Amino acid sequence: MFASSTGRQVSIEDQRWNNGAFTKALLDGLGGKADLNRERAVRVIGLASYLANRVKELTEGKQMPVMVAPKTVVEDFPIAAVP
């Protein structure tokens, strides 16, 4: 599960993005920017890493996304194909 921010933060929006920072980063990440291994696939861990860095960058450190995974999910599996 991905959340746009911690429970003590607000999710920042900006007209330049036409979305919130998290949504902008998520769409960019799923579009290929989170394909960290250049394997034409976005994996869970790669997306989490990309989101953390990009949202922090877009909001100048004011917002940090959160990822929570069940302890039974240990494999870093692909969640999106990159064209």
Structure confidence by residue, pLDDT tens digits, 12-68 = 999 999 999 999 999 999 999 999 989 999 999 999 999 999 999 999 999 999 998
Helix 21-28 / helix 44-58 crossing angle, nearest 10 deg: 140
Beta bridge partners of 43: 78
Q: Is the pLDDT of residue 70 over 90?
A: no
Domains of the chain (ranges; CATH) run 2-81 (3.30.70)
Backbone angles phi, psi at 41, to 5 degrees: -150, 145
Distance CA 10, CA 19 (A): 14
pTM of the model: 0.90
**Which pLDDT belongs to residue 78?**
93
Q: Is the pLDDT of residue 80 over 80?
A: yes
Let me know how long the chain is: 83
